[in-house]
Amino acid sequence: MSRTNTKVGSSVSAQVLGWLGQESTSASVLLTAQRLLALQDSLAQQLPTALQKHFVVVKWGDGELKLGTQGSAQAAKLRQFVPRIQSRMTDLGHKVDVVTIKVLAEPPIPNAVHMAKEARPIDRSDLSHFVELANGLEPGPLADAVAKLIARRV
């Protein structure tokens, strides 16, 4: 798997967004996704904190708003807020006749991707810089931390 060097270029997500914006078909997909995400953020403000990150806007149009969540308990709780959601949609200038809550087979929000930490070992020249730093620090927690780092590397 190739990784983008952040010093040289932009992030992978920025590259994907740039690529999507190049063609008219993919640009419309990008625009629709941005609208759904903006609507989702707006609706999330009307919900309790416990529900804000546990739903997605699946469909929106023709007087219907379809929301998805990952469990029946969350769906039941979300159904209690349908009047508030419809009110918010009206405040935003959109007529919504039906709000449907669906339990999705897969989680609506993917788990966070943890990138591997890019670390390189401290070499002798780096260590000399830490020694120089330690000599210039006043006694305290930072000086202790730098001294411990030097002691582990020597």
**Segments making up each domain of the chain, as ranges:** 12-103, 124-153
Band of residue 17 on the pLDDT scale cut at 50, 70, 90: low
CATH number for the segment(s) 12-103: 3.30.300.180
Q: Is the pLDDT of residue 80 over 90?
A: yes
| Paired residues of 64 in beta bridges | 61, 98
* pTM, to two decimals: 0.54
3-state class percentages of the chain: helix first, strand second, coil last, to nearest 5: 50, 10, 40
Band of residue 11 on the pLDDT scale cut at 50, 70, 90: low
93: left (phi over 0), alpha (psi -120 to 50) or beta: left
Q: Which of 12-26, 33-47, 48-62, 65-79 has the lowest mean pLDDT?
A: 12-26
CB-CB contact of 73 with 39 (8 Å)? no
> Rounded mean pLDDT of 100-121?
71
The sign one gets for the Cα dihedral 55, 56, 59, 61 is: positive
Q: Is the pLDDT of residue 1 over 50?
A: no
CA–CA–CA angle 88, 94, 98 (5° rounding): 80
Which tokens hold the place of 3? 């990784």
pLDDT value of residue 107: 61
> Rounded mean pLDDT of 19-42?
76
Cα separation, 134 vs 153, whole angstroms: 14
